[in-house]
A and B are shown apart, each in its own frame.
Chain A
């Protein structure tokens, strides 16, 4: 499959994540690497050095799959896109949004502890308003 444009890639990636949302198991793999398909790679020392610090910026390849194996080749979804060096920041901004929305099964930020603490703080002020308030303010200063 050829490489997709960024818009196509993101729309398909959201589809991939949405499909996962309806299931209770599965994996999504995202890979990024330097695009080195058409570039000649000889193992001479000079080439190694040019590899390490190339004169011009190179594009980055992004792949996304739903990690289906050989026996389920028909269900496998493979997406790939190429980011030109100039578009990197714009791409990663959108990428972050898509991933944040898609990875909904991760643990949300736990706020129960804070709530308990705030309740504890509120409780003494409710019991003795004058003294409690003074105490809390004293606690707040350091």
Chain B
């Protein structure tokens, strides 16, 4: 399954999936850590350093032509290579976060991936919203609609609500104007951002 570009899209689709299959749907949040430089790359760097050091050492040995000086020369590249690897490890590891909504009965899998720390709070808030749906608590749709409308998807939300639950149509009707207004606000925000860039 492809990843969603925007977290709001992911939230919306996950909410719909939960509405359809509340009993079996689960939301998984995976936090991955990877080393900043992969070992192969680090090794390559180290190898490069070692090679250079060897070349310089061989030059120095050819100029000096003394066996006593050549013995410490092989030791030098090894220390340099260890330095290189240590600098590689000093870089902090990179992390990324994958949110996945999965329903084993229908096989639907919705994913969202991010590596921004600033998004974590918002994403957990989204998990909370989904949690409310899981717990079958009443969901204040106007609030969610305003949040979901950062992406311009008011119309899509209308259609989806209409399709999924006929009983919820009055609530959907009331929430639509709010969604439209919020969508306008979202649009303005985007324009501002573009202007800044």
Interface residues of A (CB under 8 A from B): 20, 23-34, 36, 41, 51-54, 56-60, 67, 83, 85, 88-89, 92, 95-96, 99-100, 102-109, 117
Contacts and interface: CB of A to CB of B under 8 A. Distances in A.
B22 A88 contact: no
Given A24-B89, A100-B120, A100-B121, A51 B135 contact: no
Contacts of B135: 34, 57-60, 83, 85, 88
Interface of B is mostly: mixed
Contact of B134 (A26, A33, A41): A33
A136 to B, nearest CB: 15
Interface of B: 19-20, 22-36, 89, 92-97, 114-118, 120-121, 124-125, 127-128, 130-132, 134-137, 196
A34 B22 contact: yes
Nearest to A101: B120
Nearest to A36: B23
A58 B136 contact: yes
B116 A25 contact: no
A104 B36 CA distance: 14
A12 B93 CA distance: 22
A57 B31 contact: no
Nearest to B93: A24
A105 B92 contact: yes
B44 to A, nearest CB: 18
Contacts of A36: 23-24
Contact of A105 (B20, B27, B93, B121): B93
Contacts of B34: 24-25
Nearest to B29: A30
Contacts of A108: 117-118
A92 B22 contact: no
A88 B128 contact: yes
A109 B35 contact: no
Given A25-B33, A25-B34, A103 B28 contact: no
A31 B128 contact: no
A4 to B, nearest CB: 17
Nearest to A31: B28
Given A31-B26, A51-B22, 13 more contacts: A23-B33, A25-B35, A27-B33, A31-B27, A32-B29, A36-B24, A58-B135, A92-B131, A95-B124, A95-B128, A99-B124, A100-B124, A105-B33
Contacts of B96: 106
B189 to A, nearest CB: 16
Given A24-B89, A57-B137, A58-B136, A106 B117 contact: yes
